[in-house]
Structure 1
């Protein structure tokens, strides 16, 4: 049974907001969203995210606009092979998820897949990182660690390089608070 809802975050990192229609079902997540920000420069983005089994990324389509113009990205993962606008990205072989910069939504997929908002565990991932507003895809090593349950969900540590943050998730595995980055509005 699918659950559809509109989520909105205040995105402190960009001085803006992100809103997304999110549909979750058994092992799947799809989303259509928009975000605006003023840091590092004014921009807006629109995206559509589609996952397959175990919330693994199948496709992320993004349009970004800033003072330098409009860019589009069609990022796909088919059979473990990633492409950006049809161009192969062999450096992402083995990656399962995308990570859209300045977006708390894409931290959800690995957490849901491994139930890290509810159960102990620590996992390392290779991600297809998409910086915003540039949209130049690159590989990113990330670690997610279950820290504990909360009344409404759980806490999970996100780490990449020297950066670490303890995120709060709701009972459905969707980000509530990403300290210094974003906070979901009620």
Structure 2
């Protein structure tokens, strides 16, 4: 007898503003985890396409993100993993500077903002105020990995969910998420085309 999945499937398509492109993600959202696969195309800084797969464990903590990017001159891949002890690897090589990170953040992808929102219920209410996160941030189209700190703050309830401020360094944007924690509008980055 196989175990019945309790995940809810979603499909979300966004217009990605900086790349002048689009992303579609097929998402299976459970009570405490999600898995997704996505495709994106962009024109800036050069024409490229992206394919990714994302898997989280309990608490929406990243387990693995595999990414492939193709441009006219190169194909790049990245296999980013976090084990149960919190150790990160990129293509099998240890990345100790990512210690403490629970989330991956794929550049130009609004999907990866979902995990911290869901983990702390920021789509439902303010909780305990601003939350600071170390992220395993992946640049697109280069696929380099860095560890910036991002702050998420619930600002208000909104018509379809909530408004949340995301900050990192000098960057700041107030995004709108739906009742499932998925991005509807991310000024400077993305706008959902399907709800």
Q: Which has the higher strand share?
A: 1
Query: How far off is 1:67 after superposition?
Result: 2.5
Match runs of 1:1-186 below 5 Å? 1-78=6-83, 79-120=85-126, 121-186=129-194
Distance in 2 (CA, whole Å) between partners of 1:179 and 1:151 is: 17
Task: Give the 3-state SS of the residue equivalent to 1:132 in structure 2.
Answer: coil
TM-score (norm. length: structure 1): 0.98
Instruction: Give me the TM-score of the superposition, normalised by structure 2.
Output: 0.94
Q: Which runs of 5+ in 1 are unaligned?
A: none
Q: Indicate the SS of the match to 1:105.
A: helix
SS at match of 1:109: helix
Shift of residue 66 of structure 1? 1.1
Q: Which runs of 5+ in 2 are unaligned?
A: 1-5
How many residues were matched structurally? Answer: 186
Cα-Cα RMSD: 0.7
Using the alignment, how far apart are the partners of 2:117 and 2:188 within structure 1? 19
Between 83-92 and 63-72, report the one with greater CA deviation.
63-72
Q: After TM superposition, what 4+ stretches of structure 1 lie above 3 angstroms from structure 2?
A: none
Contact 1:118–1:148 (Cα < 8 Å) also in 2? no
Secondary structure of the residue aligned to 1:117 is coil
Q: Give the match's secondary structure for 2:118.
A: helix
Q: Which secondary structure state, in structure 2, belongs to the residue aligned with residue 111 of structure 1?
A: helix
